Amino acid sequence: MIFGRKLAGTSRTASPEMRARLIDGPIIRTMLSLSLPPTTATLAQLFVQLAQVHYVGLLGIEPLAALTLVAPVVLLMQLLSAADVGGAISAATARARGADDTRDVQRLVLYAVVCSLFLGLLVATIEYFGGGTLYRFLGGKGRVLDEAISYGRIVFGGAVLMWMTNLLAATLRGRGETFAPSVIIIVSMLGTFPLYPMLTLGALGRPGLGLVGAAIAFVAAYAVSTIALLFYMQRMGKETRIALVTDWWSWKLVRETARVAFLSSTRTILSVGALLAATYCVGRLGDAAIAGYGIASRLDLTFVSLLYGLGISILAMVGANLGAGKAERSYRVAVVGTLMATAIGGALGLLVTVRPDIWLVHFSDDAAVLLEGERYLRIVGLAYALGGCGTAALFVGQAMGQMRWAFWGTVGRFAIVAVCATGLFGFPDTIGSIALMMASAYAAQGIIAAAILNPANRR
């Protein structure tokens, strides 16, 4: 599947203005306008998540270390729902939109709901029975382990709500409608934000619930956004309404979407596997190292999340142009978007390499924790430019239905971390050596994934 691909359509969509904007509008201006709402929504989510880290940090090193142990698994669920399965649904919707195929757009809304229910229950079950074993393997013990298990049980107990929010929003964004789902998510996240300090630390003379309170607040935000999205979609017309449409099953559409989702999800599982391997290495260095790595590596995750809005705009524009048969324009969109992501990554990486304290001081005042965090960011920040390149290339691959290079880039990243974690060439026994390992992994991933932009794909 290459940049020259065109999808056939049979029926017409109801919003020609949006379609024209995707396939004929100025590239940079359209990309920025489409990316602004989801980027703002992502910032709101990040603000709430980082506030969670801040409030948990006030409880002490042990709750913060427990949150660090669960964070890679929560990240896995977020990426699978928003970037992988959600990305595949968005890409399929964008291609159907470009081809003016209303029926496929309607089918994809129904598929999003079914996938949310099934996959949300699946990951909740897996975490319930295997979470404690995983957190123990990563170095959790005593109170840290107990806190991690309690937090994970509650967060993953509400997994269906996260899946529903992200997949419903994906169907709207694939149509080029980025504003409404972003506003819903922003209002939901900020509206439930006061629950974090109230439930974590206590309020109105009542004691807080600690890390358990943070987990409850986390689930509450997704409950509100799910209800709001369902209400909005049921009122906005037949293209977004959840209903059993005529000829609702399409093997071609399911196979096409599932293939992209599977390869993208496998790539994410390997990515999180690399994070778990890094967490395993850090877990051998003590609670201060775990906590320092936890707050420093949050910037890695924050950086990737900040590029999500730009990635969504790349995906929608490349997919729509492919559906309309405009191969040359889809290629130009892919190149421009990737260069923008690389520049953003390079600027942020330079900043935190020089001044890592700008990030770290907001989450801890423990000198040992801050020192470990600084050692990590000064090295990993050097690889952020290539990290941005690899992230943009993922969305290009999803839009094209071609995940090969993004997949092999992640395999390269995972291989570097896995080999180091085995101690085959000497075990990384300092936070600095772990940071060097992660920087090398990010660089390898970005270089390999960028092969999707090979000009040969324009044929």
DSSP three-state, residue 207: strand
Structure tokens at 47: 């603000």
Q: How confident is the model at residue 187 (pLDDT cuts 50, 70, 90)?
A: very high
Structure tokens at 16: 């020609």
- Cα 240 versus chain centre, distance: 23
Q: How confident is the model at residue 237 (pLDDT cuts 50, 70, 90)?
A: low
Structure tokens at 440: 């090398």
The CA distance from 13 to 18, in Å, is: 10
Between 195 and 458, residue with greater pLDDT? 195
- pLDDT in the model for residue 8: 37
* Lowest mean pLDDT, pick from 39-53, 121-135, 137-151: 39-53
DSSP three-state, residue 99: coil
Q: Is 155 exposed, middle or buried (0-12, 13-18, 19+ CB in 10 A)?
A: buried
Tens-place pLDDT, residues 312-368: 888 888 888 887 788 888 888 999 999 999 999 999 999 989 998 888 887 777 788
Q: Residue 335: which of 317, 320, 349 has the closest Cα?
A: 317
Q: Is 246 left (phi over 0), alpha (psi -120 to 50) or beta?
A: beta
- pLDDT in the model for residue 11: 36
Structure tokens at 447: 């270089």
pLDDT at 153 over 80: yes
The CA distance from 223 to 285, in Å, is: 37
Residue 332 contacts by C-beta under 8 Å, 6 or more apart in sequence? 27
- pLDDT in the model for residue 7: 36
Mean pLDDT of the region 40-57: 82
Helix axes 404-422, 431-449, angle to 10 degrees: 160
- pLDDT in the model for residue 6: 41
- pLDDT in the model for residue 425: 64
Residue 88 contacts by C-beta under 8 Å, 6 or more apart in sequence? 257, 258, 260, 261, 264, 398
Beta-bridge mates of residue 203: 206
Helix axes 308-323, 27-57, angle to 10 degrees: 150
Mean pLDDT of the chain: 83
Tens-place pLDDT, residues 355-402: 988 888 877 777 888 888 888 899 998 999 999 999 899 888 888 878
* Lowest mean pLDDT, pick from 90-94, 159-163, 185-189, 237-241: 237-241
- pLDDT in the model for residue 243: 65
Tell me the percentage of the chain whose pLDDT exceeds 70.
92
**Residue that has been written with the tokens 């599977």 in this structure:** 262
Structure tokens at 381: 């920040």
**pTM over 0.85, yes/no:** no
Mean pLDDT of the region 68-79: 84
Tell me the percentage of the chain whose pLDDT exceeds 90.
25
**Residue that has been written with the tokens 């991933």 in this structure:** 445
Q: Residue 43: which of 295, 217, 219, 302 has the closest Cα?
A: 302
Q: Which of 47-56, 188-197, 249-258, 418-427 has the highest average model confidence (pLDDT)?
A: 188-197
